[in-house]
Amino acid sequence: MLQVGFIRDHKEEVISRLSKRIEDAEKIVNDILTLDISRRDTQTQLDSISSELNTISKEIGMFFKSGQSNKASVLKQKTQNLKEQKSVLTELLSYTTKKLNNLLCQTPNLPHSLVPEGNSDKDNEEVFCCGKIPDLSDNALTHWELAKKFDIIDFELGNKITGAGFPVYKGKGAKLQRALINYFLDKNTNAGYNEVQVPHLVNEASGFGTGQLPDKEGQMYYIGADNLYLIPTGEVPATNIFRDVIFRSNDLPKKITTYTPCFRREAGSYGAHVRGLNRLHQFDKVEILRVEHPSESYTALESMVSHVKEILNELKLPYRILRLCSGDLGFTSALTYDFEIFSAAQKRWLEVSSVSNFETFQSNRLKLRFKNSEGKSQLAHTLNGSALALPRVLAGILENFQTNSGVEIPKVLIPYTGFDTLN
C-alpha cells in the first residue's frame, strides 16, 4: 500500500509512475490527496475541540468550588454543544479515513523506472537467455503423454478424487517431485536462506499484509466456516512472520525459504495451453524471500535473480528472463523478473519463477519496520521469488530430456532420486 505522505510530497512523480499502470492515475492521486486533506482538517478540529473541552472542564470545577454555579451552568451548556460537534466530527473522521484507506488499498504499487511500458505479456522485455533448446524427433511426446506412458502422474485419478487440476503423482513421479523439493531447499539454505515450515491456511490479516486481499480474493480458496484462506503461495504465510515487527538496522537482511503446496482457483482457463502440468489448482513450490534495508533491496533483487539462474543452469534447462512490463506487473510489485523454461515438445515457454521487489508496498500493510541510524522507525523493503515452482519444471524435464529409451534425470537430481532414468 502506498504511503500518503510520499504521495503528498511527490505528487507529480507518483502520477507519472502510476500512469504506466492505470489510465486514471491523476484522478486517483487527486482523490487520495483530497481525502487526506479532509481527514487532517477534521482531525485538527477534533484536537481543538478536545483541548477546549479539557480547559472548560477545569474551569467548571473551579466555578463550582468558588460557588459560582451560574457561570458553571453556562459552561456546561457550552460543553454539551462542543460534545455534539465532537460526535459529528468523529463520525466524519471515521468515514473519511475508511474511504481513504479503501482507495489506497485499491491502488497498485508504483512501477520502478526500469519497468517497460506495455499492456500485456507481449510487451515484456527479454533481458537474458541461456541454454540450448533440444532438437527432438517428430514423434516426441508432451509431458502429459510421457506421464501416462510411464505411469508417474495420474490426472484422471486426481479428477476423480477432487477435480481437474489436482493430479496424483505416483512411483518415480512422486519421488522426482520430492527430489526437486529437497534439491531446491538445499540450494536455498546453502545460499543463506533459513528454512521454515509455515501454515497452509492464513487469516484475513495475513492476506491483506501481502496484498492478496482485497485484490485477489476471487483467486483463492476460501473456508467460510473459519474465515480462512488456502495459501496461493508460500510468500503469504512466510512474509507474515514479520508482520508488526520492528528490527534493528543491523538485524537486516532477513532471508528465509519455505516449501508449501499452493492452491489457486485459476478460474476460466481451458485449452491445450493449460493441459497437464501447465496450470493446476494445487501445486508445489519452494519460495525464497528477503526483508532488506531500502538502500540494499535492488542489490538483493539481483542476487535473487542470480540464485535462480544458478538453479536452472544446474538443471540444464533452457530458459530466459523477462522484465515484466507495466501491464503485466503484479498489483504489489515495483519490479518483477519472470523466468521461463522452454518446453521442447510443446514448443513454448513456460513460466517457472517470478522474482519481485515490492519496496515498501507490503511492509506498509504489514507494519514491518526497522530502526534507522537516527533511531527512527522506517519501513523495510520486502522481496520474494520462486526457487522454484515445481509443475512446469517437471514438465520441462520430462519433455526436454526424453530419449527413445525413457527420460534422463538431470545429474544434479540423481543423488536425490536414486535413479538416473525414467522408464
In this predicted model, what pLDDT tens digit does every residue of 25-62 receive, in sequence order?
999 999 999 999 999 999 999 999 988 888 887 777 67
Q: Look at the domain 121-422 and name its fold.
A: BirA Bifunctional Protein; domain 2 (3.30.930)
Asked if residue 64 has pLDDT above 80, the reply is: no
- Please state which of the ranges 5-14, 241-250, 264-273 shows the lowest mean pLDDT: 264-273
76 falls in which pLDDT band (50, 70, 90)? confident
Asked if residue 96 has pLDDT above 70, the reply is: yes
Mean pLDDT of 193-213: 97
Mean pLDDT of 348-353: 97
* pLDDT for 56: 81
Asked if residue 330 has pLDDT above 90, the reply is: yes
Max CA pair span of the chain: 107
Q: Look at the domain 4-105 and name its fold.
A: Helix Hairpins (1.10.287)
Residue range 128-137, pLDDT digits in tens: 999 999 999 8
* pLDDT for 325: 98
Q: What's the half-sphere exposure (Cβ side, CA atoms, 13 Å) at 346?
A: 24
* pLDDT for 274: 76
* pLDDT for 341: 98
Mean pLDDT of 160-164: 95
The mean pLDDT value of the chain amounts to 94
* CA separation for the pair 353, 340 (Å, rounded): 7
Tally Cβ neighbours within 10 Å of residue 411: 11
Domain ranges in the chain are 4-105, 121-422
pTM, whole model, 2 decimals?
A: 0.93
